[in-house]
Structure 1
C-alpha cells in the first residue's frame, strides 16, 4: 500500500496536483453501502493500518493525502442530511479507531469531513470530532476540508475546525464569514487559525520540479498490487491452477473483455491503460477455444447471448465464468437495493453448471454478493476491483504463475437477511440507527455463531502452511509458520485476541483482530513471525470516563488463517482495573436484530430523535430535494423530472451520468446557491421553495423576478465601479 501510495503521489505531483482525495477508510458497516468499493474493511485495525501506509506513500512525494470521510459515512441514501445515531463505545472502537491509526501512524496533512450528521450534529460542525478528538486527542496538525457541497453552516464549521470549503462558492459563504466577524459572532482569532492551517498546507505542498511519472513502472506495480490482492475463495479438488488437465477452455462473461476495474462517482479516473483478463488469458499456453459475453452488462435478458455462451461451453471441458456487479450497482450517492447478482448472470451460471463442465467463477465488485451457486462450482476467485493491471494478475493466478495469497477484508454472508441491520439499512429518512452497536461483520457473526459464506480473513493458497510455537505477551505475538506444500507462497498470519470467557455475558465481541503480517516461504521453509499487537488490543472504550481502559482477565491469543481458521492458541493474563461490560440481554448475547427502540435508547443514554421527516409543514432551505416526493403539484413534477432523467441516462448506457443526476435528490435546497457559485441566489431559492410548497405561480413570479434582478446586478455593479474618465 505504501508503494502504491508513492506511485499515486508521483503521478499527482507530475500533474501539479497538490492534494489527492484519499484514502477512504470508513468502516464497511453494511454490504449494500454504495461507497464500500472505496473503503478498506469492516475492521478498524486493518482499515487504519492500510490507510496509514498509503498516506505515507502519497505524502512522500510532496502531495497531501486526505483521510476521508470523517466520520461515520456509513450510507449514501440521504447522505447530506442523514443523522447517524451511534453509541459512544461503538463510535470510538469501530468508526473512529481506523482514523486514529491513519492520523497517528500516517500523519495525514488533510482530513475530509463527511456529509452526514453524527448524533445530531453535522460532521463538519462537530466540535467533539474535529477539535477535541482529531486535534487535541490525536494531535492532528493539518487542514480539515469539506466534502464537495458538504458545508451546512460555514461559520459553525470554522469554529469546529474546518478551514476549507469545497468547491468554492465564489464568495457566497465568504460573505457569511465577514458578517460574523463584523457582528462579533465569530472571533477573528478562529479565522486566523483556519488561515494558518491553509497556509501550512500550501507550504507543505509547495510546487516542486516533479519528474514525469514512470507510467510503465506504475503499470507493473498495478499488476503486482492486483496479483497480491486476489482472493481464492474456494478450490474444489485442486481445480486451480489451470494446467493441461483443464483441456479446452471457454471464457464466458462480459467482465472478461470489459472488466470492472474501478468504482463509479467522484472516484472515477482515467487509467493510462487497462489490461483485460481475456487478452491476458489468450497470451498464456491455455487452450482458449473462444469467448462469449453471455449476458448484457446491466441486467437485461438476452436469449441470443445466453444460447451462444452455452454452445461454446458445450465444446469445452472447462469454463472460466466472469461475473460481477456492473457500474450502476456500485457508485457514490447510491446504495445498492439488494445483495444479489443480476438475474441474467444467475440464470447463465445455473445453466452452465447444469452442463456438467468444470466451472471456475471470477467475480468482480467492490463488496460482497450472495453466491447461491458457490458450492456447485469448482473454484471461486474474488478479483474485486483490480485496477488497470487486473488482467495479467488474474491470468497469472489462474495459471499458477502467481500463488494467491489475498485475504478477505470483510465477511461474505450467505444472504443479506443474515446482516445485522438488514431490515432498516438505507430505508429510513431522517436518521440511521446503529442498533447493532459494536457487533459489525465478523464481530457479530462470531458472537452469535452464524454460518457465513466466507469468513473475515479467508483466502486459500496453492500450498499449505502449518503453525506452531505460538507465544505472546501484552504487546507481541510470535508464531512459527512452515510451508508444508510443494510450491512457494505467501501467508498472511492473523492474530486475534479472544476476550476472557469468550465475552459471555458481556457486551463484547468474542474475538477481535489484534495484528497481522505477511510472510513469504519457499517449499519446506519455516520462519518465526513476530507481530506487534494493536495499541488498544486489550482495551475497551469506557463510556464512564470517556477514554480507553484495559479490560483485565485471562485472554487467549489466537493465530490463524482467518477469523474462523485458528491454527494455534496461547493464554495471556492481562492486569488492569475492572470495567463493567454488562448490558441488556440482546447486547450481551449479540442478538442485536432483536434490539428495540427502548433498548437502544438505554444504550445511548438519551431519547432517540424522530426517524422520519416532518410532515405537514412547508419545505425549507435545510430540507433536501428528495423530500419533494409525494407532495403533489410542482414538487412531485420536480421529483419525477430528476428521476426520469436518471432513468433515461441509465437506459442510454450512461450509468455514471445517471448517478450524478441522482446526486441532486440528497442536495439541500440551501446548497443549490452554493454549488452554483451564486448563479442561483437565495432569492431564487425562496421562489423555488414557494413553488414546491404549493404556491406555484407566486413562486414562479418571485423566481423570475429574482433571476432578472440577479442577471442585471453585475451590469449595475460594473457601471458603479467604472472610472470617471470612461463616462
Structure 2
C-alpha cells in the first residue's frame, strides 16, 4: 500500500509540474521564449522573474562537479575516471557515486551536471576513451543508468552525452561519421536508449559531429523521431558547447538549448526567424516547454514541486570515502604469478616511477576538477607501511615535455587595463588561466581587461636546468628572475582546434639553471586578444615548466639498486596529459618515455616486481610476462594512492573487471581508424568493435574483456534457466580462504547464425559477495534485446528465436558453465 501511495504522489507531482510549466509558457512573449533557449553566459540560462523562473546552472562532470569557475578556491571531490567506474561492474556503486556528485552540485549551486559520457570505446586511440565507460553497449547502459539515477536521486539533472557518434576527437567539430543503421542501433544508440528507458534522464547533450550527413544539433531523425518519438524522452536537449550551427536547422532538428551564450543561434536570431516566417512559433514553444520542465524538476520554477524535495535528499555523503571505495573496487588485477599479492605488511618495498610521487588522478580537458587533496601512491604506501619499510626513486619520468606549472609554484593572476593600471587579481591553482564568459576576478570585465600577468615564485625541487614556456595564442612576455626570455606574438596553426590554447602543446621559451630550495620570481604577461564574432569570450593561456632532465640510465640504475635489496619492487607507470586528453586522439598505445626500460630493469633484479599502470585507457605492456603482478588503476581519483595501498596490502580486494579489451600490441587492435578522410569517417567495421571484433579476427589480446583476478577463488556449481528462458540463477561457492566478490558474466552465442551477428555478446551480469567457503546465488535477467537485431529493411527490431548457448563466465575467455537456450 505504501508503494501505491508513493506512486500516486509522484504522478500527482508530475501533473502539477506539467500544469505549472504550461501556465508559465503561456505568459511568455516570443522574445522571452527565444532568450530562454540561449545561454546567458558560459554556464547558465537566464532567469525570467515574470514567471518565477530562476537561472538554471550547468557544470562540467563527469568525475566531479567543477562549478562555474575554473579555480581551486572552491575544490571538488575527484572520483576515479569513468573507465574505472565501469571496471567495478556495479551499477549500484555508480548510483552511489552519482548521489555524491549531486551533493557536490547542490553545494556549488549547480542544477544540471554535464555527464555521463556514454560513447563507446570503438578504438583504443580515442582521446576521451578514459571519459567513456566501455566497448560494450550493455555494460555502458547499465553503469550509465546507475550514474544517472544517482545524480537525479539528489535532485540534480544530468545530460547524457554526446548524442551520438562522438567516439573520437580528430576533427570532432566537422567530421561526418558514416554509420550504417544496424551498428548505429545495436551499438552506438544502445546505451542512450537503455539509459533513457531505465533512468529517465532530464537532459541529453548532442554531439559536435555529423552522423550520415547531418550535424547532430540538427538531426531531426535521431533527436525528434528516435530519442523523443520511439524512446519517449521528455527532457531537454542541450548542445555541446558551440555545437549549434544554424537557427532554423537546430530548432526544427530538436535542439532545445544552444550553449554557451550570449552569442548563439537562438535568442534574438530565433525570435527574428519566427517573425520572418522561417520557423513556426509552435516549434519554439515545444523547446521552451522542455526547458521549463527541466527547471521544474530541479526546483527553480516557482509553484512546481521539484522531483526531489529537500527533505527527501540523501543524507550527507563522505566524499573521500566514496572516492576511495570506487578506486579500490575499480583496480583490475590482471596478473598475480605466485600469489605475490597481497604483500606481507612486514616486508620492504622499493617504489619507483615519477607517477608514484606526482600521481595522475584524472584525465585532461573538460573533465578536469581541482580536488582539495590528492593521495599519491607514495603518500598511500608511506602511510600504510611501517617506518623504514619504503624507499622511493624516480626511476623514469613519463614526460620530457613542458607541462602546466604546478609543484613548487605559488602564483596569482594580476589583471590590468590598457593604461597598465591594476583592475583586479585572483588566485591560481597552477600556471593555467582559463576564464570563460564572466568567470573573471572581481571587478574585471572583458571590456576593461587588456593584459593578465601570472606572477609569483618558484621553489625548485631539484638543482639543474629548468625549462619554462607558454601555451596559448597571442602576445607573451616571460621573465624568470631578472631575465626576460621571451617577448613576442604566438599565432594559431592553420586548421587548429578552436580550443588549441587549452589543449595544444606548450612552446619552450627559455632555460635557467636553478638551485633546489632557492625561490626565484616568475612572471608571464599575456596581452588579451579581443574576440570578434565568437560565441565564446575567454582568456585561456598557461605558464609551462619542465624539471631538470637527469640522465635516464642513471635514474633507472638508482631504481634497480633499490629494488635489488627490497622484498618487493613496485613500479608505477603512467600516461600524461599529452597522451590522453580531450581535443586529440592518440597515435599509438606506447607508454611514454623510458618507463618500459625501467620495468624490465627492475624485474631483472627482483622476481617480486609489481607494476601499477596509471592510465585511463589501454597501453602496451611489452614486459607483462616478465613481472609477477600487474594492477590497472585507471585514473584513480583523489584517493587513488590510499586505495592502491589498501589493495597491495590486502586490506581490500582488487574488485575490477576489464570494461574494454587490452591489446598486446597496437597492431593487433581491430579498429584503429579515427582520422577522417575528406571530412568523412566510415565505421566500416559495422557491429564488430571491441571483443566482438577480436573474436572475429581470432587474435588473442593481452587481457580479454571482463578479465580480473581477485584474492580468492570461485567454483560455479550450477546454472538453472527459468521456464521462459529469460533468466538464469547461478549458484557458486567461494573456495578461497578469505571473503571476496565475484562478477558473474552471462554471454549469449547463437548456435547457428543467419543474421551476421558476432560470435557472442554480453547479455547480463551480476555481482555477489561471500565469505570463505560460503555458497551464494545470483539471478540474472536476460533482456529481450539480447536476442534481437536491427532489421535495416524493415527499420525495426527483429527477434531471432535461436537456439542459443548461454555461458556463465568469470570473463569472456574464462567460461565456467554452459547451458542451452
Is TM (by shorter chain) over 0.5? Answer: yes
How far did 1:448 drift? 2.8
1:481 aligned residue: 732
- Which of 282, 288, 296 pairs up with 1:195? 288
Aligned with 2:653 (options 397, 403, 406): 403
The unaligned stretches of length 5 or more in structure 2 are 1-93, 301-305, 402-548
Provide, for residues 41-77 of structure 1, a one-character-per-residue CA deviation record: whole Å limited to 9, x for no partner: 0001100111111111101111101100000111100
Q: CA deviation at 1:172?
A: 5.9
**1:386 corresponds to 2:486:** no
- The equivalent residue for 2:236 is 143
Say which of 271, 276, 283 aligns to 2:376: 276
Does 1:266 find its partner at 2:381? no
Contact preservation (8 Å) 2:353, 2:571? yes
Are residues 1:460 and 2:709 paired?
Answer: yes
Deviation at 1:173, TM superposition (A): 4.3
Corresponding residue of 1:295: 396
CA distance in 1, matches of 2:608, 2:400: 25
Higher alpha-carbon deviation: 147-156 or 32-41: 147-156
* Alpha-carbon separation, structure 1, partners of 2:631 and 2:615: 12
Structure 1 partner of 2:106: 13
CA distance in 1: counterparts of 2:631 and 2:279, whole angstroms: 56
Instruction: Go from structure 1 to structure 2 and tell me whether the alpha carbon gap of 1:337 and 1:463 turns closer, same or farther (over 3 Å shift).
Output: same
Alignment correspondent of 2:159:
66
- State whether residues 242 and 400 of structure 1, in contact with CA within 8 Å, keep that contact through their aligned partners in structure 2: yes
| Greater RCO structure (CA 8 Å; 6+ sep) | 2
What secondary structure, in the 3-state scheme, does the structure 2 residue paired with 1:308 have? helix
Answer yes or no: is the 8 Å Cα contact 2:356–2:378 preserved in 1. Answer: yes
**Are 1:344 and 2:444 matched, yes or no?**
no
Deviation at 1:356, TM superposition (A): 3.9
Alignment partners' CA distance in 1, 2:560 and 2:112: 49
User: Conserved in 1, the CA contact under 8 Å of 2:355 and 2:397?
Assistant: no
More strand by share: 2
Three-state SS of the structure 2 residue aligned to 1:176 is helix
> 1:413 is matched with which residue?
663
Helix, strand or coil for the counterpart of 1:155?
helix
- Distance in 1 (CA, whole Å) between partners of 2:108 and 2:203 is 19
> 1:427 & 1:163 partners in 2: Cα distance?
29
Contact between 2:397 and 2:593, CA under 8 Å: does it hold in 1?
Answer: no
Return the offset for 1:171.
5.7
CA offset digits 1:463-521 (Å, max 9, x no partner): 100112112243211111110111100001100101123x3x65211110001111001
Matched, 1:316 2:416: no
Q: What is the match of residue 43 of structure 1?
A: 136
Q: Please give the secondary structure, in 2, of the residue aligned with 1:352.
A: helix
SS in 2 for 1:80: coil
Deviations 1:137-167 (A, max 9, x none): 1110000000011111132111111110111
Report the more deviating stretch, 190-199 or 347-356: 347-356
Look up the match of 1:430: 679
Task: Pick from 71, 92, 95 the counterpart of residue 2 of structure 1.
Answer: 95
Aligned to 1:85: 178
Picking from 783, 787, 805, the partner of 1:538 is: 787
d(CA) in 2 for partners of 1:472, 1:157: 48
Question: Does structure 2 retain, via aligned residues, the 8 Å contact 1:260–1:326?
Answer: yes
Q: Please give the root-mean-square deviation of Cα atoms over the aligned residues, in Å.
A: 1.9
TM-score when scaled to structure 2?
Answer: 0.67
**Alignment counterpart, residue 257 of structure 1, candidates 357, 363, 380:** 357
- Are 1:520 and 2:784 an aligned pair? no
TM-score (norm 1): 0.76
CA contact (8 A) 1:317 1:357 kept: no
| Partner SS, residue 375 of structure 1 | coil
Question: Corresponding residue for 2:748?
Answer: 497
The answer to whether the aligner puts 1:222 opposite 2:323 as a matched pair is yes
Unaligned runs of 5+ residues in structure 1 are: 573-727
Matched, 1:329 2:579: yes
Contact 2:704 2:812 in 1 (8 A): yes
Q: Tell me which protein shows more helix as a share of its residues.
A: 1
